[in-house]
Amino acid sequence: MKKIYLDHAATTQLDQNVLEKMMPYMRNYYGNPSSIYTLGRENKKAIEDSREKIASCFNCKSSEIYFTSCGTESDNWAIKGICSFNKNKGMHIITTNIEHHAVLDTYLYMKKQGFNITIVPVEKNGIIDPAKIEKEIRKDTILISVMFANNEIGTIQPIAQIGAIAKKHSVIFHTDAVQAAGSVEIDVQKMNIDLMSISAHKFYGPKGVGALYIRRGIMIDNLFHGGGQEKTRRAATENISGIVGMAEALKLSVDNMQIYNKHIRTIRDAVKKGIEEKIPYIIFNGDADERLVNNINFCFRFIEGESLILMLDFKGISASSGSACTSGSLDPSHVLLALGLPHEVAHGSLRLTFGRDNSIDDVDYIVDNVAEVVEKLRQMSPLFETFLKEKS
């Protein structure tokens, strides 16, 4: 049976070249980077070279890149760190209703600490209107967080416009770029981004390593207290192989962005066209143009997304219904509800996210199997039967 992985928004396979770069740091170069002898100093250099490489991908200084363990940690640090350092200036924070739970739940936690949150709703196409963000800015607003690209529907937000608004009002601007880094061009200077979260496993790097960009001059509470690593802001012995792997993976992604994106977009568009031609009663979620090249998200009326995922798995296709972090929960995706979809429709969602390892030769197999499974599930649905009777 074919095995086709269509869940690259959940995670990606480690690139072979990245693995090779990482290997020596897993065993041979085992020194602690804080040690002053050669074995330590060499590793310190590998970390600083990686910082430089990552900074060159976002047009920032290497001193503005801080290593973390994942995107969730970066988001938590950015929000909690800014809120707690700046609470004397104000306690109002702004975000959107389609953020990843790593942001939304951190904001809800800050609410319990006494902060006021404004959650601005996106438009029906899954894109935020920057004017609506600006309207919510108050004298006591200290932070705005808007994700760069959404993990479920792939919509890319007008980050440069929001950055300009934040700058105009002297409010700190954080973006969760976990889904965007490596596949969208990001320039933190041009876009006026003050803090930005990334995670290596989303761009063919290793799991368990991420970074937070913190613009020079932005005051933030330290995340961990302990040693002097990351300029004392995030103490802990560094994950050297992970850091080296993340830098290599990001550089490979950014240097080859056009080539990879063209390949992925071609396959994605062919599958989208096939599904739209073959399957009736479907809704395409999110803006058709302003979205990541690898993402399509549909709701198939009268069926349950979970059943769809399990049946596609029997066909060797790995896909997702909602984000990996919320699968297992029976609640429909907050992102799909934010688009105004009713609960029963949001339940029937399918997210396909394509990657470098997919082939155009698999398009027919994917489309045929999605169509077959949807048809089977609808035949078992009493709601679909009623719908057909009422229609005829």
Residue 72 interacting with ligand PLP (CB under 6 A): yes
CB 336 within 8 A of CB 289: no
Report helix, strand or coil for 172.
strand
CB nearer ligand PLP, residue 43 or residue 157: 157
- Pairwise CA distance, residues 271 & 362, whole Å: 9
Residue 178 engages ligand PLP in binding (rule: CB under 6 A): yes
Interface with ligand PLP, residue 199, by CB under 6 A = yes
Number of residues forming the site for ligand PLP (CB under 6 A): 15
Both tokens assigned to 63: 């001193």
210 is an interface residue for ligand PLP by CB under 6 A: yes
Integer angstrom CA distances of residue 275 from 63, 73, 281: 47, 37, 11
Q: Which is nearer to ligand PLP, 184 or 371 (CB)?
A: 184
Distance CA 63, CA 194 (A): 14
**Would you count residue 174 as binding ligand PLP (CB under 6 A)?**
no
Annotate each residue in 283-322 with x if it binds ligand PLP (CB under 6 A) or - if it does not, as one string: ----------------------------------------
C-alpha dist (Å) from residue 136 to 155, 172, 195, 280: 22, 14, 20, 40
Select which of 60, 70, 83, 325 is catalytic. Answer: 325
Give the span between the Cα atoms of 352 and 128, in whole angstroms. 23
* Number of alpha carbons in the 13 Å side-chain half-sphere of residue 28: 6
- Shortest spacing between CB 228 and ligand PLP, in angstroms: 25
Taking contact as CB under 6 A, which single stretch among the options 19-27, 68-76, 164-172, 340-348 is the one that binds ligand PLP? 68-76
* Residue 179 in contact with ligand PLP, rule: CB under 6 A: yes
Q: Provide the pairing of β-strand 210-214 with 195-199.
A: antiparallel
Does residue 71 touch ligand PLP according to CB under 6 A?
yes
Active-site residue 60, yes or no? no
- Output the residue with the shortest Cβ distance to ligand PLP: 71
H helix count then E strand count, the chain: 13, 12
Q: Which span (117-125, 174-182, 229-237, 257-265) binds ligand PLP, by CB under 6 A?
A: 174-182
* Strands 172-176 and 210-214, sheet pairing: unpaired
Tell me the per-residue interface mask from 99 to 138 with ligand PLP, x by CB under 6 A, - otherwise: -x-x------------------------------------
In the set 55, 60, 70, 370, which binds ligand PLP (CB under 6 A)?
70
**Cα angle: 165, vertex 336, 193; to 5 degrees:** 25
Instruction: Please tell me whether residue 155 adopts helix, strand or coil conformation.
Output: strand
Q: In this chain, which of 50, 86, 151, 261 binds ligand PLP, going by CB under 6 A?
A: 151
What tokens does 28 get? Answer: 């041979």
Are residues 98 and 122 in contact, defined by beta-carbon separation less than 8 angstroms?
Answer: yes
- Closest approach, Cβ 186 to ligand PLP, in A, equals 14
Catalytic residues: 325
Residues near ligand PLP (CB under 6 A) are: 70-72, 75, 100, 102, 147, 151, 176, 178-179, 199, 210, 323, 325
